[in-house]
Amino acid sequence: MSERINLKQTLAMRRNYVGKSCRLHFDASPLKIVQALKQYLYDDFGNEYLDCINSVAHVGHCHPHVVSVGQEQMSQLATCYGFLNDSMVDYAKQLVETLPENLCVCYFVNSGSEANDLALRLARAYTQQSDIIVVDNAYHGNISSLIEISPSRLKTLGMEKKDWVHVVAVPDTYRGIFRESVANPGILYAQEVKKVIQKVQEKRRTIAAFMCEPIMSQAGVIIPPKPYLTEVFSYVREAGGLCIADEIQTGLGRTGEKFWGFQTHDVVPDIVTMGKPLGNGHPMAVVVTTKEVSDSLKEFSSTFGGNPVACAMGKAVLDVIHNEQMMSGAKSVGKCLLDGFRAIMPTHPMMGDVRGIGLLVGVEIVMDKQSRKPAKEAAEILAYKLKEQKIIIANEGPDKNVMTLSPPMCFTCDNARRVVQALDKALRQIENDASQAGLTSSGGYPMIENPDSAQVPFIILGDLSLNNNKGTKRVQEKDDDDDAPGGKKTCIG
């Protein structure tokens, strides 16, 4: 594929025309991805990268069946809002068949954020209450109503929490308030939720809903200990509230065990929201709820929600998951990843924890196993070092120290072994450099500076290594706007 403009120009144009708060992966040396296939990404130089992070490309980038179904529907009817259409009802039926019987009514929207916003509306319409309980460090979407209930964003944006938002402890047995050494952490964490409900009731209110991910992805791949969700759901329901499962990251067979994350906890939510992987890259999202909850909503409309192209592609994704037995793949490949990481963990002083289910896996990078202090800079350097080995992995979690994998479901055991070997090698270099430099748990790593804090664009030269302890080697360049096709107009100051 011939590229119209080179990476440098694209970067300059992006700086010029796109909001600065829209962050890039590897913002010190961003990649320009021009093509993708299955679990591989290709940059403008033809380099192939193993994609461990694009859960959106659920059944594999550009899956031919999904693409051809989308193209065919696009050539027939792209949108015709307000008319009967088989594409929508076929898809709704097939989706509902993957869920417990009472979850049988669908609402179609365009993004995970819209789905979660609608879930809040449904819960409030049904309960006539407005208080919401969420788990600390959660992220539920980018629109105002969801930023208000996303503790991760309240913290980064320095926003005050509204009095109707109630944040409960992350049920994290590695670094949370109840750890693996205590008996029944699931019950203890659930009691924290009960206490919050009681406090709300003391104010003569009650809660509309408890919203959470069945496996807390952005909070650092936290798997709530059993019977946390069973207990919490019963406390919430006793108080008259609804339980909302945000399955935007965890659904559609990703856990390998069950089709939906909540099913791995033996609970049935009142509302399920789904997004990211549904259209394999085509933007679409769905809310599924019970008839009773659905009937409480007086009005809803969405111009693009449930359009025939989205529904045809959504149905094609479900067919591929089934026909290519992707759940059993996720289960066995997920096990390869976990076993591989666990096998190398004892040899790595900075590998604090390995956890996950199916193809959602997290590896905690810590200063040392004793203190469990998050090693953010080391995790960030690790991500860059893996990029040098042509592997794309993210460092997530509240401290950005959890190497997180959520790859396309066609990821293989060979891919898993490659990632484990590469991480083993890169982390060993980081650990050796850290120990030579005498860095302790209170010491600091050379920071990778965010180029957005610089006034002019620059590129990274060479690798990011700790070898000389001087940190990132880089050169500053003159402002590239002059090179950008389309003239010199500068929109962003």
Shorter beta-carbon distance to ligand PMP: residue 98 or 218: 218
Q: What is the DSSP string of 227-289?
A: THHHHHHHHHHHTT-EEEEE-TTTTTTTTSSSSSGGGGGT---SEEEE-GGGGBTB--EEEEE
29 near ligand PMP, judged by CB under 6 A? no
Residue with the shortest CB distance to ligand PMP? 112
Burial of 454 (0-12, 13-18, 19+ CB in 10 A): exposed
Element (H, E) at 34: strand 33-37
Q: Which range in 35-43, 136-144, 320-328, 485-493 contacts ligand PMP by CB under 6 A?
A: 136-144
List 50, 59, 208, 248, residue binding ligand PMP (CB under 6 A): 248
State phi, psi for 428 to the nearest 5 degrees.
-60, -40
What is the distance of C-alpha 260 from the center of its chain?
Answer: 15
Shorter beta-carbon distance to ligand PMP: residue 9 or 280: 280
List 15, 140, 166, 355, residue binding ligand PMP (CB under 6 A): 140
- Closest to 348 (Cα-Cα) out of 362, 334, 368, 371: 368
**Six-digit token pair at 348?**
């790595």
- Closest to 421 (Cα-Cα) out of 391, 401, 379: 391
User: Is 408 in a helix, a strand, or coil?
Assistant: coil
Q: How far is the CB of 143 from ligand PMP (least distance, A)?
A: 8
Cα–Cα dist 43/99, whole Å: 39
396 near ligand PMP, judged by CB under 6 A? no
List 220, 275, 329, 358, residue binding ligand PMP (CB under 6 A): 275
Q: How far is the CB of 115 from ligand PMP (least distance, A)?
A: 8
267 near ligand PMP, judged by CB under 6 A? no
Shorter beta-carbon distance to ligand PMP: residue 87 or 249: 249
List 68, 128, 142, 467, residue binding ligand PMP (CB under 6 A): 142
Asked if residues 309 and 88 have their Cβ atoms less than 8 Å apart, the reply is no
Q: Which range in 93-101, 112-120, 329-337, 479-487 contacts ligand PMP by CB under 6 A?
A: 112-120
55 near ligand PMP, judged by CB under 6 A? no
**Six-digit token pair at 159?**
């926003």
Where does 402-467 have alpha helices with state H?
A: 413-436
279 near ligand PMP, judged by CB under 6 A? no
Q: How far is the CB of 248 from ligand PMP (least distance, A)?
A: 4
Residue whose entry in the numeric block shows the structure tokens 């390869």: 336
112 near ligand PMP, judged by CB under 6 A? yes
Cα–Cα dist 129/124, whole Å: 5
Q: Which range in 219-227, 245-253, 286-294, 346-354 contacts ligand PMP by CB under 6 A?
A: 245-253
Q: How far is the CB of 458 from ligand PMP (least distance, A)?
A: 29
Q: How far is the CB of 230 from ligand PMP (least distance, A)?
A: 21
Shorter beta-carbon distance to ligand PMP: residue 284 or 378: 284
376 near ligand PMP, judged by CB under 6 A? no
Residues in contact with ligand PMP, total (CB under 6 A)?
16
Cα–Cα dist 484/358, whole Å: 43
Q: Which range in 163-171, 213-221, 390-398, 449-457 contacts ligand PMP by CB under 6 A?
A: 213-221
**What is the DSSP pairing of strand 131-135 with strand 207-212?**
parallel
214 to 233: interface string for ligand PMP, x by CB under 6 A:
---xx---------------
Cα–Cα dist 441/339, whole Å: 27
Cα–Cα dist 461/313, whole Å: 41
Residue whose entry in the numeric block shows the structure tokens 């909070």: 219
98 near ligand PMP, judged by CB under 6 A? no
127 near ligand PMP, judged by CB under 6 A? no
Residues that bind ligand PMP (CB under 6 A): 111-113, 116, 139-142, 213, 217-218, 246, 248-249, 275-276
